[in-house]
Amino acid sequence: MCGIVGYVGNRPAQDIILGGLRKLEYRGYDSAGMSLLEDGEIQTVRAVGNLDHLEAELESRAGGTATATLVRPATIGIGHTRWATHGRVSVQNAHPLAADESRIHVVVNGIVSNYMELRTQLLQSGCVFATETDAEVIAHLIATNYSDDLADAVIQTLDRLDGYFAFVAMALEEPHVLVGARRECPLVVGRGEEESFLASALPAFLAHTNRIQYIENGEIVVLRAGSVEIRDAAGAPREREIETIEWDEETAEKGGYETFMLKEIHEQTDALAETIADRTASGHSVDLSDSEVFDEDILRGVERVTFIGCGTAYHAGLLGRAAIEAWARLHVEVDVASEYRYRSPILGPGDLVVGISQSGETADTLAAMRLARERGARVIALTNTMGSQATRDSDAVLLTRAGLEVGVAATKTFTAQVAAVFMLALRLAELRETLPAERIAELVAQLRHMPELVEELLERVGPAVEEAAEWCWQAPFFLYIGRQEGVAVALEGALKLKEIAYVSTDAYASGEMKHGPIALLDEQTPVVAVATASPVLSRVVDNIETVQARGAKVIAITTEGDATVAPHVATAIPVPATDPMFQPLLATIPLQLLAYSVARRRGLNVDQPRNLAKTVTVE
């Protein structure tokens, strides 16, 4: 996701900010920029692409010499690496964003979920917008609220904002002050000698200081070279201890987690919040208008939806099928892209084909999308990567906002894809009037609540997962079972175990067990059953009993409050209760962690499993 670096001190801010941004490159970005304040002027440089482009731009502004710089004497500034979510990848949309004739500058991470409403109000009051970003409203609000105190203007601005974000602001009239604020997205302060740093992650300044202060949710922070004040949302001061961190840079990049995969599993809360928040900001319906095309007439005219994808993305398509069939009452097909591209599908203008691909570069998915387009279907790219090939080979883009995923095994991008297909299903149901408005509102409310439930689950699921891993990690084969939506979860859980733990797995619709796979069962076979709340739960329990009767031990993902499954299984791992359709989003998480724990116990490198590539650009 995006990166923020702010500096105020006694050394050239440009070098420190550029160095800090380089340390945040691992987070992924598509453009970058910085603003420096010196001699009553703020200068901004922005560039698309990597930081070498930004550096080249800085040099060219300084007359093309490698050593000269834009405003090298500036000792205060803010910088940003952007991972596009709202608005194209372009210099214009890169941060810092400015308002009030460049008197106020901000860098922003995350999403302002009520930006549409704010933008309309600000436009009416005469503000001129220079970008397509949601974040620009923050710059204009600060400018509107500003009289002579940046911190006050930020406090007033925060009051108007909904969403998940962190930002840092700088004002021309206050050349020695930076003000930061956070809601959900992280922000951390570094304390040096007569210099202060503010960043979205520690690696940005660990080379300069390891004395840090964490900014907590809802707080603002006022930075000067020699002082740091932390305040609550009303402006009252808050005490914060200075901690000394002993992390090396690698540990810091992983946010203190032992691997990127574990970090990314824990980032699912933010990935979901960012994917869902502004599109459901009304609280009762889904708005996909940020995603090009989704014209109401086109969506209303859809006669059939087809999901295509590979691996994990295909599993998200299976859940899309379940949701669209149930809620929007449309015909839905799902296929793996490597098969679909060689089929001869019958397609026409009533067909909506959704190519799901976190990278947006998977060769088979791109070929399948092209085929669908050639045959007259409308094609949506559901991807995590704005500007990827899939976004260019499609009629519309539905973006997940999970940020960069470094671990080869897809985790946070999968749950974000699932949230996106659910939103598409709800939007179709709304337009087709296949569900009452109250039911849609109820489902939207639950979807909005998912990030919190995921956080709650992540906080407490560890011991149950470890209990299961403790007894099963050496088994040579695992069978995963489930029914209906649980089949997609079983397939995804089995894929995770295969790819990172190199354990042979099979995943089946559990009603099929008696038609073959039951022969595989013995006392040595762990069976992982997705047994969360659903209309077919009693059938799954029957299947679990059948497994038990063959001596195999069962790990079941259950729903909190259910008493029907636990008596039949060796380890039950409950997830919070929701509408049955949303259970897969939660049920997947313990299975990611189970695969992770088995792989670690086997001493494997989970971030880079053998033979696998993160982006599969060949057939």
Residues labelled catalytic: 2, 614
Residue span binding ligand F6R (CB under 6 A) among the ranges 1-9, 129-137, 359-367, 543-551: 359-367
> Which of 310/418 has CB closer to ligand F6R?
310
Using CB under 6 A as the binding rule, the residues of this chain from 478 to 537 that contact ligand F6R are 495, 499
CB 310 → ligand F6R: shortest distance, Å? 4
How far apart CA 600 and CA 503 sit, in angstroms, is 12
Pick the binder of ligand F6R from 365, 571, 578, 583 (CB under 6 A).
Answer: 365
Count of alpha carbons within 13 angstroms of residue 82, beta-carbon side: 32
Name the residue number minimizing CB distance to ligand F6R: 311
Instruction: Characterise 100 by phi-psi region: left (phi > 0), alpha (psi -120 to 50), beta (else).
Output: left
CB-based contacts of 286: which residues, under 8 Å, 6+ apart?
279, 280, 423, 426, 427, 430, 444
CB 312 → ligand F6R: shortest distance, Å? 3
Q: Is 394 in the site for ligand F6R (CB under 6 A)?
A: no
> Which of 188/409 has CB closer to ligand F6R?
409
CB 611 → ligand F6R: shortest distance, Å? 12
CB-based contacts of 120: which residues, under 8 Å, 6+ apart?
none
> Which of 60/605 has CB closer to ligand F6R?
605
Q: Which tokens belong to 63?
A: 């007359």
> Which of 294/414 has CB closer to ligand F6R?
414
| DSSP letter (8 states) at residue 524 | T
Of 141, 150, 155, which Cα lies nearest the Cα of 233?
A: 155
User: Which x/- pattern, by CB under 6 A, does the window 403-442 give for ligand F6R?
Assistant: ------xx--------------------------------
Residue span binding ligand F6R (CB under 6 A) among the ranges 159-167, 358-366, 422-430, 546-554: 358-366
> Which of 23/321 has CB closer to ligand F6R?
321
SS (H, E, C) 143-159: HHHCCCCHHHHHHHHHC
How far apart CA 497 and CA 597 sit, in angstroms, is 10
Residue count, binding to ligand F6R (CB under 6 A): 15
> Which of 102/615 has CB closer to ligand F6R?
615
Pick the binder of ligand F6R from 44, 113, 209, 312 (CB under 6 A).
Answer: 312
Count of alpha carbons within 13 angstroms of residue 27, beta-carbon side: 30
Query: Contact 562/591 with Cβ under 8 angstroms?
Result: no
Query: Contact 353/380 with Cβ under 8 angstroms?
Result: yes
How far apart CA 29 and CA 358 sit, in angstroms, is 15
Residue span binding ligand F6R (CB under 6 A) among the ranges 7-15, 304-312, 440-448, 453-461: 304-312
CB 309 → ligand F6R: shortest distance, Å? 6
Pick the binder of ligand F6R from 77, 79, 110, 311 (CB under 6 A).
Answer: 311
Q: Cβ atoms within 10 A of the Cβ of 611, count?
A: 7
Q: Which residues bind ligand F6R (CB under 6 A)?
A: 310-313, 357-359, 362, 365, 409-410, 495, 499, 615-616
